[in-house]
Structure 1
Amino acid sequence: MNDLTPARLRELKRETKSRPYDLAQELGLPEAALVEADLGFGVIRIDPALSRLIPAVQRLGEVMALTRNRSCVIEKIGTYNDFHDGDHAAMTVDPEIDMRMFPRHWVHAYVVETVIAEGTRRSVQVFDAAGDAIHKVHLRDTSDQAAWEALKRELALPDQTTLSEFAGRAAPEGARIAEDKAETLRSEWVRMTDTHQFNTLTRRLKMNRLGAYRVAGAPLARQLAIDAVPTLLERVQAEGQQVMFFVGNAGCIEIHSGPFQNLKPMGPWLNVMDARFNLHLRGDHVAEVWLVDKPTKRGPAISVEAFDENGDLIFQCFGMRPEKGGDAEGWKRLVEALPAGDDA
C-alpha cells in the first residue's frame, strides 16, 4: 500500500461513492489518514483538548453531533451547552446534545471543508490514537460562520504538514469472566445505589460488562434473542415510550432522550429518521442481547444492551426516569415481553 500517497488518497476520495469509514476499511487505513491526506487542501489540524474545542464548538450554535462505533451511528441536531470539563471525563448536558467524553482518547482533531455541488460541507472531526473516529460535528446552514472562522484560526496547530503516525488498534477484549467471583458479584450488585457503581464493581472483580452479565445471570441479567433488537425499536415507537439510548466508543458516548418516531429499516440497517435525531444500527452485527436490572436510589434502572461478535458494546437503551417524563411500568412491561434467548 506504499502507493497510497496523500495525492493518491485525494484522488480515491474524489472517485469513490463510499463513506470515509467504509473507504478506510477497504484500504486498510485509519480513517484519520484519509482526512490528513487533505492537509492544506481544506483540512486544518487543530488542538483536540476538550477545554478549548468544546467551547469553540458551542459558539457555532446549531450543528449536528455524530458519534459512532463499528455497528451503530447516532446523529443529533442541537447546540453544545452546559459543558463540564474534567481530566478523566467531561460532559455536555442538553436535552438534544447530551454527551460523555473521555479526553485521553481525543488525540487527533481537524477542521474539514469539502466543496461539493451544493456548496461547502464543514465539520470538526476527532480521532483516537489509532485514527478511529471518536466524534464529529457537522455544521448546518444556521451555524455561526464567524465562529467557524474563529475556531479555525484559534485552534490551528503549528504543524500542518507532517503526517501522523497512528498507533495500532487495540484488540477486542471479549467477555472477561471470573467465575470464582460470581457470588461476590451478585451480592454487591443488589446493593448498588447508582448505575455508575457497576463499572467500579466489575473492574475490582477483574470482569467487564459482558463478562459480568454472563456470570450474574437471571434475574439480574437475562439473555434475550437477537430479534429483540428490532422488536425493541418497533415497540418503543408504537407505544411512544420515552427512552435514553446510548451509543458510543471508548472516547465518547452520545445519548438520545425521547421517543422514536420514524423507523425505516433498509437492508441490514435499522434506522430511526426523526427530524432532529437519526440512528443507523447494523442489526446483522448484533451477537448478544441482554436485559439488565441494576438497583438505584430512584428505583431499578432496566436496560436492553446489545453486543457484537467481539463482545464490544453496540448500544444501551433505558426507560427514561418518571421525573423526566418516562413511564417506568410501561417500560418494564415492554422489555419483559421481548423475546428471550435460547439459553434464558
Structure 2
Amino acid sequence: MSTEFKDHADALQTRYQALLATEPKLRARERAARLAVSEAQLVAADCGVASTELQGPAQTIFRELGTLGHVMALSRNDDCVHERKGTYEDIQAEGAIGLVLGADIDLRMFFNNWVHFYAVTEGERRSLQFFDAEGIAIHKIYMTEQSDNAAYDALVAKFAKSEKTWPAVTAYAPDTTPDVPEDAAALRETWLGLKDTHAFFPMLRKHKVSRLGALRSVGNDLAQVVDNDAVEAMLQRAASSELAIMCFVGNRGMVQIHSGPVKKLVRTDPWYNILDPLFNLHLNTESVVSTWVVNKPTSDGWVTSMELYNEAGELIVQFFGARKPGVPELTEWRELLLDLCKEPLAA
C-alpha cells in the first residue's frame, strides 16, 4: 500500500466513522454524498467493508460470472434500484457493448464507462462491484446462499491486484444535447418510420435532440404525459391480472431488465417497491417529475411503454409489456396504457 493511498484512506476512514456515529442507517450511496466523495473511494478505503481491487478489463471479469451460480444482480441510478436473482448465462462481453441474455438475468453493458472494480465483503455479504470514472456504482453482484463460494474465491484470486490504487474521480462532461429538435416535423416523420425499438436512440442522435425533448415534440398520439401516479396504477393492474411486463433500469454503463409478472407491491415512505422472490424494484416516487406513455411503430406492430423522468430530464425507469423480437405487443398491456391516456394513441 502506497503512502498516498494510506493517507487518503486513513483520512476518509476518520470522516466515515464520525458520520456513522451520527447517521448509522445511511446507505453507501448516501454516505458518499454526505462525505463529498465517491462510493468507489469508500469501498477502496474499506469504509464499512473489506475490499480487494480487481484487475480489468471488465469484459474479462464478466465472462467468468457464470461460474458463480445463482446470485443477485443489482443495477441502479439515483432514483431507482433494480435487483434480479438468477444465473449469468449467454454472456457476450467482447467489445465495448456487452450482453447477458439468460432466462433470469438480462443485461446490456456499455463497457467504456467501467473503470474501477472490487471484490467486497460486508459482514456476511460478499459481492463484486463495478464503478464508472466518477466512482458511481454501475453494477453489483451479490452472492446468495445458492452461490458457488469456491468459484467466487477463485475469481477474486485470478483478478486481484497486488496493491490497491486510489480511485481518482474523473468528471464526465455535461450532456449538452438540445431539448428542442431543429425540425420537429422531420423528427415525427422519422419516428413514424421506425421499424425497431432499437432504432430509437440513433433517431435521437440523427435529430440532435434529447430523449425527453423528442417526447415533447412529436405529438400526443406518439408520446403523452400522464399522471405521475399512473405507474402505481399500472403496476397494481398488472399484478392483479398477472400480466407479464418488462422493467428497464439504467445508468451510464448498464441497463438491467426484468421480464415476467409482478406480485407483491409495497410502499415504504417515498419508495414504491416490488418485492418478489426473484425480482425487487425500489422506485423513489418523489423523484418523478414527469410520466409518459410512449408509442413506437415497429415491424411487429405498435410498441407502447411507460417512461418516468426526474427533474434533470433523466430517464429513471421504463416499462413495457413482455415481448420478444418478432412477437406483437400484448393486447392487454396496450389496453392498460391506453386506459391511462387522456388522448388516443396512433394505431
The equivalent residue for 1:306 is 308
The equivalent residue for 1:270 is 272
The root-mean-square deviation of aligned C-alpha atoms, in Å, is 2.5
- Contact map agreement 2:66 2:87 (CA 8 A) in 1: yes
- Contact map agreement 1:262 1:272 (CA 8 A) in 2: yes
**Cα pair distance change 1:336/1:36, threshold 3 Å:** same
The equivalent residue for 2:16 is 9
- Contact map agreement 2:263 2:274 (CA 8 A) in 1: yes
For residues 229 and 176 of structure 2, the distance between their equivalents in structure 1, rounded to whole angstroms, comes to 25
For residues 339 and 238 of structure 1, the distance between their equivalents in structure 2, rounded to whole angstroms, comes to 20
> Quick check: 84-93 or 325-334, which moved more?
325-334
Residue 213 in structure 1 maps to residue 235 in structure 2: no
1:46-85 equivalences under 5 Å are: 46-85=54-93
For residues 242 and 321 of structure 2, the distance between their equivalents in structure 1, rounded to whole angstroms, comes to 11
Residue 35 in structure 1 maps to residue 43 in structure 2: yes
For residues 189 and 327 of structure 1, the distance between their equivalents in structure 2, rounded to whole angstroms, comes to 18
- Contact map agreement 2:15 2:35 (CA 8 A) in 1: no
Name the amino acid aligned to 2:12: T
The equivalent residue for 2:168 is 165
- Contact map agreement 2:118 2:129 (CA 8 A) in 1: yes
Deviation at 1:276, TM superposition (A): 0.8
Deviation at 1:12, TM superposition (A): 4.7
Name the amino acid aligned to 1:280: H
The equivalent residue for 1:291 is 293
1:92-139 deviation digits (Å, cap 9, x = unpaired)? 001210000000111101000122xxxx21000111000001000000
For residues 33 and 141 of structure 1, the distance between their equivalents in structure 2, rounded to whole angstroms, comes to 28
For residues 166 and 110 of structure 1, the distance between their equivalents in structure 2, rounded to whole angstroms, comes to 16
The equivalent residue for 1:148 is 152
Gapped regions of structure 2 (runs ≥ 5): 1-7
1:126-172 deviation digits (Å, cap 9, x = unpaired)? 11000001000000122111111111111112332x31211125546
1:7-54 deviation digits (Å, cap 9, x = unpaired)? 543675587221111111222221111101119x72111134232211
- Contact map agreement 1:76 1:276 (CA 8 A) in 2: yes
Alignment counterpart, residue 128 of structure 2, candidates 121, 124, 128: 124
**Cα pair distance change 1:283/1:188, threshold 3 Å:** same
Alignment counterpart, residue 237 of structure 2, candidates 226, 231, 235: 235
The equivalent residue for 1:260 is 262
**Cα pair distance change 1:110/1:323, threshold 3 Å:** closer
**Cα pair distance change 1:328/1:288, threshold 3 Å:** same
Alignment counterpart, residue 180 of structure 2, candidates 155, 177, 184: 177
Name the amino acid aligned to 1:155: F
For residues 250 and 58 of structure 1, the distance between their equivalents in structure 2, rounded to whole angstroms, comes to 23
**Cα pair distance change 1:250/1:260, threshold 3 Å:** same
Name the amino acid aligned to 2:215: Y
Identity %: 37
Deviation at 1:6, TM superposition (A): 3.6
Deviation at 1:187, TM superposition (A): 0.8
- Contact map agreement 2:226 2:342 (CA 8 A) in 1: yes
Deviation at 1:235, TM superposition (A): 1.4
- Contact map agreement 2:74 2:82 (CA 8 A) in 1: yes
For residues 323 and 52 of structure 1, the distance between their equivalents in structure 2, rounded to whole angstroms, comes to 29
1:257-315 deviation digits (Å, cap 9, x = unpaired)? 00110001111110000011100000111011111111111111110000001000001
- Contact map agreement 1:48 1:126 (CA 8 A) in 2: no
**Cα pair distance change 1:336/1:135, threshold 3 Å:** same
1:18-29 equivalences under 5 Å are: 18-29=26-37
Question: TM-score of the superposition, structure 1-length normalised?
Answer: 0.90
- Contact map agreement 2:55 2:117 (CA 8 A) in 1: yes
For residues 251 and 14 of structure 1, the distance between their equivalents in structure 2, rounded to whole angstroms, comes to 33
Residue 135 in structure 1 maps to residue 139 in structure 2: yes
For residues 42 and 181 of structure 1, the distance between their equivalents in structure 2, rounded to whole angstroms, comes to 53
